[in-house]
Chains A and B, each alone.
Chain A
Amino acid sequence: MSEKRIRVPFDPGAAESLKSGDTVLLSGTIYTARDAAHKRMAEQLENGEALPVDLEGQVIYYVGPTPARPGEVIGSAGPTTSSRMDAYTPALLSHGLKGMIGKGYRSREVIDAIQKNNAVYMVAIGGTGALLARKITASALVAYEDLGTEAIRRLEVEDFPCIVINDSEGNDFYESSQQSFSND
Chain B
Amino acid sequence: MKVIQYTEIVDEVSRICQEANFDLAEDVVNAFKESVKTESSAAGKSILNQLIENADIATSNRVPMCQDTGVSVFLVKLGQDCHITGGRLEDAINEGVRKGYDEGYLRYSIVDDPITRKNTGDNTPAVIHIELVEGDTLDVQMSAKGGGAENMSAMKMLTPSAGLDGVKDFIMKTVKEAGPNACPPLVVGIGIGGNFEVAPYLAKKSLFRPVGERHPDKDIAALEMELHEAVNRLGIGPQGLGGDTTALDIKVETAPCHIAALPVAVNLNCHASRHKHFVI
Contact = CB atoms under 8 A, between A and B. Distances in A.
B144 to A, nearest CB: 11
A130 B58 contact: yes
Interface in A2-60: 36
A119 to B, nearest CB: 19
A180 B44 CA distance: 13
A65 B233 contact: no
Contacts of A78: 66-68
Interface string A157-184: 0000001000000000110011111111
The main secondary structure of chain A at its interface with chain B is loop
A127 B105 CA distance: 17
A183 to B, nearest CB: 5
Contacts of A76: 58, 63-67, 69, 107
Given A81-B151, A105-B181, A126-B180, A178 B236 contact: yes
A105, A126, A148: most-surrounded residue (chain B CB, <10 A): A126
Given A123-B239, A179-B235, A184-B234, A104 B105 contact: no
Contacts of A133: 63
A125, A134, A181: most-surrounded residue (chain B CB, <10 A): A181
A64 interface: yes
B25 interface: no
Contacts of A123: 180, 239
B51, B106, B147, B241: most-surrounded residue (chain A CB, <10 A): B241
A78 B53 CA distance: 14
A69 B63 contact: yes
B272 interface: yes
Contacts of A179: 235, 242
Contacts, number: 160
Nearest to A66: B107
B227 interface: no
A127 B183 contact: yes
A77 B61 CA distance: 14
A127, A128, A182: most-surrounded residue (chain B CB, <10 A): A127
Chain A contact residues (Cβ within 8 angstroms of B): what range?
35 or more
A80 interface: yes
B67 A103 contact: no
Interface of A: 36, 63-69, 72, 75-78, 80-81, 83, 103-105, 123, 125-131, 133-134, 148-149, 163, 173-174, 177-184
25 contacts: A64-B109, A65-B67, A66-B69, A68-B105, A75-B63, A76-B107, A81-B151, A105-B179, A105-B240, A125-B50, A125-B239, A126-B148, A127-B65, A127-B271, A128-B51, A129-B63, A129-B65, A129-B66, A130-B54, A130-B55, A163-B43, A178-B234, A178-B236, A178-B242, A182-B234
